[in-house]
Amino acid sequence: MEMVTLQAYLSSRKALVEEALERLLPWAQTPTTQLRAAMRHSLLDGGKRLRPILVLACAEALGHSPERFLPVACAMECIHTYSLIHDDLPAMDDDDLRRGRPTCHKQFDEATAILAGDALLTLAFELAAQPIAGVDPQESLALIRLLAQGAGMAGMVGGQMLDMLSEKRQLSLAELQTVHAHKTGALIRVACVAGGRLGGATPDQRQRLADYGEAIGLAFQITDDILDETGDSQLLGKATGQDRQSAKATYPSLLGLQASQQEAERQVHRAIACLEPFSSQADPLRHLARFILTRTH
C-alpha cells in the first residue's frame, strides 16, 4: 500500500465515520435546537477522525469489515470532540479557533459549550453500549470500562488536569511524557485496543495493538509539538508558535527540533515493529504510522 493508497483508505474510512455520525446519533432526541447545533458544530467540522479510523483499522487488521464497529468508532470521536470543546474553554486553554473555525464557546457561549461537551461524552457511552452482532455483551461491557478508564480520571481527564497544573512551570521530559501519556495517549491506545477486542484479538494481538497505539500516540504528539513550532497556521487551522509564546514545555523546547523528529521516527518504527505478526490486512495501520512523520496539519 503506497501513500496514495493510504490517502484513499483514510478518505473512505473518514466518509464511513462521518456518514455514521449523521445516521447513528440520536440528533432528533433533544428538546433544544441550540444544544444540537453546538454538538454538531464541533463534531461535524472536518476533523481527521484518527481515533475512529484506528478502531476500524485495528478490527480490519484482524480480517473484519468495518461496518459493525461504527458505533464504537463514533463513540471515540464523541469523546475526542467533547475533550476539545472543554479544553478550549476560557477557564482552560482559552482558544478562539479550532480547525479554522470558531471554537464552540465562541460560536455559541460558555454554558452551551460546557453542555455540548457533557452531552457528547454521555452520548459516547450510549453508542458504546449498542449491541454488536457477533460480539459477546461481556466484551462490550469490558470495552466500556476500558473506554471510561482511558477517558477519565486515570486517563485523558487526569492528563488535562496535569497539563493545567504544569502550565506555570518548566516540565522535565519525564513529566511531559506523563502528561501526554494521559492526555492524548490513553484514548488513542484505547481506540486500538477496542478495535482489537471487537475483532476477537488474542491476548498477544491485543497487547501488540495496545503498544502500537501507545507508540503512534506519542509520535502524533511529538509531531503536533513540532508543527506548532514550524507549521503553517493556515493548514493547521489554528495559530502557531503558541507553545513557545506561553513558554510551555514541548518536545522541541526540551529536546530541540532535530532530536524531536528523531524520537517521532523511533516511535513510528516501534509501532510498525509491533505489527510484525499481522498480515497485509494491517497495512493501513503500518502506513498510518509512517504517515504521521509527513504530517503538515
Site residues for a second copy per CB under 8 A: 26, 29-32, 34-36, 39, 82, 86, 89, 91-92, 109-112, 114-115, 117-119, 121-123, 125-126, 128-131, 136-138, 140-142, 144-145, 147-149, 151-154, 157-162, 164-165, 178, 182
Q: What is the dihedral of CA 125, 130, 135, 137, to 10 degrees?
A: 70
Smallest gap, in angstroms, from Cβ of residue 100 to a second copy?
Answer: 25
Q: Which is nearer to a second copy, 156 or 275 (CB)?
A: 156
DSSP symbols for the chain: --HHHHHHHHHHHHHHHHHHHHHTS-TT--S-HHHHHHHHHHHTS----HHHHHHHHHHHHTT--SGGGHHHHHHHHHHHHHHHHHHTSTTTT--SEETTEE-HHHHS-HHHHHHHHHHHHHHHHHHHTS--TTS-HHHHHHHHHHHHHHHSTTTHHHHHHHHHHTTTSPPPHHHHHHHHIIIIIHHHHHHHHHHHHHTT--HHHHHHHHHHHHHHHHHHHHHHHHHHHHS-HHHHTS-SSHHHHTT---HHHHH-HHHHHHHHHHHHHHHHHHTTTS-GGGHHHHHHHHHHTT---
Smallest gap, in angstroms, from Cβ of residue 283 to a second copy?
Answer: 33
Smallest gap, in angstroms, from Cβ of residue 7 to a second copy?
Answer: 34
Question: Which grid coordinates belong to 138?
Answer: 461481556
Q: Which is nearer to a second copy, 149 or 233 (CB)?
A: 149
Question: Which grid coordinates belong to 185?
Answer: 495517549
Smallest gap, in angstroms, from Cβ of residue 1 to a second copy?
Answer: 36
Q: Which is nearer to a second copy, 158 or 252 (CB)?
A: 158
Q: Which is nearer to a second copy, 110 or 232 (CB)?
A: 110
Smallest gap, in angstroms, from Cβ of residue 15 to a second copy?
Answer: 25
Smallest gap, in angstroms, from Cβ of residue 157 to a second copy?
Answer: 4
Q: How far apart are CA 169 and CA 295, in angstroms?
A: 29
Q: Which is nearer to a second copy, 111 or 239 (CB)?
A: 111
Smallest gap, in angstroms, from Cβ of residue 36 to a second copy?
Answer: 7
Q: Which is nearer to a second copy, 178 or 240 (CB)?
A: 178
Q: How far apart are CA 285 and CA 55, in angstroms?
A: 10
Smallest gap, in angstroms, from Cβ of residue 83 to a second copy?
Answer: 8
Question: Which grid coordinates belong to 154?
Answer: 486515570
Q: Which is nearer to a second copy, 20 or 123 (CB)?
A: 123
Residues recorded for the chain: 297
Q: Which is nearer to a second copy, 140 or 260 (CB)?
A: 140
